[in-house]
Chain A
Amino acid sequence: MDEIELVERARNGDERSFALLVRLHERSLFATAYAIMRSEWDAADAVQDALAEAYAKIGALRNAVAFKAWLTRILVNRCYAVLRKRKHDVLTADPPEPEAYTHLGREEGLDLMRAVRSLDLEHREVIALRYFRDMKLTEIAEVLDCPLGTVKSRINRALGRLGSALGSNPFVEVAE
């Protein structure tokens, strides 16, 4: 059974299939929201809300193939709705324990996430969509509603900044 079949079943009200879709996507959804929101708690809330919204609306999703982009757009919209209400987009310290999610990867991963979170919004969002959500450039352009060339140059710039921020992994910044 592939993901499209799961989406089709979920669209017809099969709760198990929806739950399996949640399992497949929850990690990258959280990483994406965490990169964009910069706060673990806000990110966990955004994922929660996005999944609830997706569950409520999946019956209306016309093209099962578009599920990933559709779910991502729901999440991104949730994140932006919260960010817009904030006066300043500031990077706050990590929240105190307890956490909503746990990091299971290598310890260097936390340094990398910190570097991603320190980027400008326009750069951290493309990094998240491209590598956490594994999306094509055209899909990202659609979700963010901006030109393909902009997505491409932002990704290159963001990689350059991440490379510099990490020091140990210097990436020569590509000229526009």
Chain B
Amino acid sequence: MNCEEIRDDLEAYVFGDLGADRARVVADHLESCPTCGAAYERTRSLIGDLKELGESFAPLERYEVPSAAPRRSPALWGWRLTAAVALIFAGLSVAALAVPAIAQQLPVPVARKLDRLESENERLASEVASLTIELRSIGGEEVPVVQDPETDVPADEALAVQNLAMSFVRAQYAGDLEALRDMGTERLRADLAAHPDDYLRAQGAEVVFAQMTDVALTEDGTYLLFVRLMDSAEWSESQYQENFEIRRVDGRWLVDFMGMDA
């Protein structure tokens, strides 16, 4: 097998759709040929960057705020995230949660939004500029946390809330309904019993905590948290989001609501 033929197959080899036999031939050659090895590294890096690029543009806030009451979680509309944080999560957030009409779930024609965006743009730009993301150690993992400068939740409480959300997600991927029940309020338990499938995720898939928000606190004492996730299961190769409402009941932190865009 000569180098030119190997180079011709590098792309498919990196992408992962070369047949197993052929892939073995390429792998063997790369071991023994530094020139092709270097070409492989460059190809792999470039393709990795391109794949990342494909998921890196998210729609700005382009959804009408619905007038209809949400189906499952009235508190969702009261989330007091700053505009900047909401903007970061706009691609996956509030609009999809509970809007009944499909017209409100599709992106609104951009042109109609132009005027309003123009007036808001300056304010949003300054808020985005002041937005910081820091790595925080949560549940043994380093998780990027979008900081909310206006949050009034003490750091230890925020960490407890974030830890609980992380444990909850891990139990979802482990298929551990018992553990989920144990982490929930009466309200969550009832919903879990009625719709267990809404809580279960791809069993055994590897889960990545891509981003979390700071914790916000509503006037009725509910702690709010967005968690952005990726997993190794096929259908969610892009990030998705879980929205948590967490309450403190008799000294224990419990999940009162979890919604995945619905």
A residues near B (Cβ < 8 Å) are 1-4, 6, 15-16, 18-20, 22-24, 26-28, 30-32, 34, 41, 44-45, 47-48, 51-52, 55, 97-106, 108-109, 112-113, 116, 127-128, 130-134, 136-137, 152, 155-156, 159, 162-163, 166, 169-172, 174-175
Contact A32 B54 (CB under 8 A): yes
Given A100-B110, A136-B17, A171-B42, check contact A31 B11 (CB 8 Å). no
Given A24-B238, A27-B238, A174-B8, check contact A99 B60 (CB 8 Å). yes
B49, B238, B262 — which one has the most chain A CB atoms within 10 A of its CB? B49
Give the distance in Å from the alpha carbon of A127 to the alpha carbon of B54 in the complex.
10
Contact A163 B53 (CB under 8 A): no
User: In angstroms, how far is the closest chain A Cβ from the Cβ of B135?
Assistant: 15
Q: Is B219 an interface residue (CB 8 A)?
A: no
Q: Which residue of B lies closest to A52 (CB)?
A: B106
Q: Which residue of A lies closest to B95 (CB)?
A: A19
Give the distance in Å from the alpha carbon of A35 to the alpha carbon of B52 in the complex.
14
Q: Is B47 an interface residue (CB 8 A)?
A: yes
Contact of B96 among A19, A30, A163, A170 (CB under 8 A): A19
Contact of A132 among B39, B54, B261 (CB under 8 A): B54
Contact A41 B110 (CB under 8 A): yes
Q: Is B62 an interface residue (CB 8 A)?
A: yes
B residues near A (Cβ < 8 Å) are 4, 7-8, 10-12, 15, 17, 39, 42-43, 45-47, 49-60, 62, 87-88, 91-92, 96, 99-102, 105-107, 109-110, 114, 117-118, 121, 125, 197, 233-238, 240, 261-262
Give the distance in Å from the alpha carbon of A5 to the alpha carbon of B129 in the complex.
40
Contact A101 B42 (CB under 8 A): no
Contact B39 A31 (CB under 8 A): no
Give the distance in Å from the alpha carbon of A67 to the alpha carbon of B192 in the complex.
30
**Residues of chain A contacted by B11 (CB below 8 angstroms):** 152, 155-156, 159
Interface residues of B: mostly helix, strand, loop or mixed? helix
User: In angstroms, how far is the closest chain A Cβ from the Cβ of B222?
Assistant: 24
Contact A134 B237 (CB under 8 A): yes
Contact A31 B60 (CB under 8 A): no
Contact A132 B106 (CB under 8 A): no
Give the distance in Å from the alpha carbon of A22 to the alpha carbon of B60 in the complex.
14
Contact of A156 among B8, B42, B53, B55 (CB under 8 A): B8
Contact A104 B43 (CB under 8 A): no
Contact A45 B43 (CB under 8 A): no
Given A19-B261, A44-B110, A156-B11, check contact A109 B39 (CB 8 Å). no
Given A41-B110, A48-B107, A136-B17, check contact A112 B53 (CB 8 Å). yes
Q: A28-B54, A159-B47 are in contact. List 17 more A-B contacts (CB 8 A).
A: A1-B235, A18-B102, A28-B238, A41-B110, A44-B107, A44-B110, A45-B109, A55-B102, A98-B121, A100-B62, A102-B59, A109-B53, A156-B11, A159-B46, A169-B42, A169-B49, A171-B43
**Residues of chain B contacted by A34 (CB below 8 angstroms):** 57
Contact B102 A19 (CB under 8 A): yes
Contact B51 A134 (CB under 8 A): yes
Per CB-CB distance, the 4 closest pairs between chain A and chain B, nearest first, are: A105-B56, A132-B54, A131-B50, A3-B235
**Residues of chain A contacted by B117 (CB below 8 angstroms):** 98
Contact B52 A137 (CB under 8 A): no
Contact B102 A15 (CB under 8 A): yes
**Residues of chain B contacted by A136 (CB below 8 angstroms):** 17
User: In angstroms, how far is the closest chain A Cβ from the Cβ of B175?
Assistant: 14
Contact of B107 among A31, A47, A131, A169 (CB under 8 A): A47
**Residues of chain A contacted by B52 (CB below 8 angstroms):** 105-106, 109
**Residues of chain B contacted by A131 (CB below 8 angstroms):** 47, 50-51, 53-54
Q: Which residue of A lies closest to B117 (CB)?
A: A98
Given A100-B62, A159-B43, A171-B46, check contact A27 B54 (CB 8 Å). yes
Contact B54 A31 (CB under 8 A): yes
**Residues of chain A contacted by B236 (CB below 8 angstroms):** 24
Contact B53 A132 (CB under 8 A): yes
Q: Which residue of A lies closest to B62 (CB)?
A: A100
